[in-house]
Amino acid sequence: MTTILCVRKGHEVVMAGDGQATLGESVIFKSKSVKVRRIGNGSIIAGFAGAAADGITLIERLEGKLEKHANQLKRAAVELAKDWRMDKYLRQLQAFMIVADRDVSLVISGTGEVMEPDDGIIGIGSGGNYAMAAAKALYDIEDLSLEEIARKALKIAGDIDVFTNHNVILEKVD
């Protein structure tokens, strides 16, 4: 597993993920795994937690849906979730996704759910709840930028969760 965190204030969005990859109980990569990336026309960021090949497959499928639906993120996310739930092959994929653009942040699951948080903070993966709790605690501190909130929250998650490290990959949409 891993930790992916998305934090939003208005149209500004930051998504961060750690760089550790594990296979069972063993760490395979300490810092090289990229689980957060820009997709579509570069104005959308996506992150995944779970099996790497499954996450990459889902991102590729989402990109196809974005092309088909003129980069309308909500519509593409719902279409992906429907396929993910209904398709015999896709149902086997073991991953979760967070996607965000300047207007919306969503978590997409293989059970057909597309959810938008009330407060603009989403965490997934083995350290997702730790990072999300830390981000919520840091969110109202006026001196902190979204990048600082995300980095501090992932550091806290990495201190607690053995499947999360401190090598942060961060993308921003503003």
Q: How far apart are CA 27 and CA 97, in angstroms?
A: 22
- For the ranges 7-16, 29-38, 74-83, 131-140, the lowest mean pLDDT is seen at 29-38
Q: Match 């959308």 to its residue by tokens.
A: 44
Higher-confidence position of 115 and 87: 115
Tens digits of per-residue pLDDT, 16-60? 999 777 666 666 655 567 889 999 889 999 999 887 778 788 889
2 is catalytic: yes
* Residue 73 contacts residue 42 (beta carbons within 8 Å): no
Number of Cβ atoms within 10 Å of the Cβ of 43: 14
* Biggest CA pair distance of the chain: 48
Residue 127 has pLDDT above 60, yes or no: yes
> Which one, of 164, 166, 144, lies nearest residue 155 by Cα?
166
- For the ranges 26-40, 52-66, 107-121, 135-149, the lowest mean pLDDT is seen at 26-40
- For the ranges 75-79, 89-93, 95-99, the lowest mean pLDDT is seen at 89-93
Of all residues in the chain, the percent with pLDDT exceeding 70 is 90
Query: Which two structure tokens, joined as six digits, stand for 28?
Result: 């395979």
Q: What pLDDT sits at residue 96?
A: 85
Of all residues in the chain, the percent with pLDDT exceeding 90 is 60
Residue 126 has pLDDT above 80, yes or no: yes
Give the domain ranges of the chain.
3-168
Per DSSP, 91 falls in state G
Mean pLDDT, residues 72-89 taken together: 85
Domain 3-168 architecture: 4-Layer Sandwich (3.60)
Query: Which two structure tokens, joined as six digits, stand for 168?
Result: 């942060």
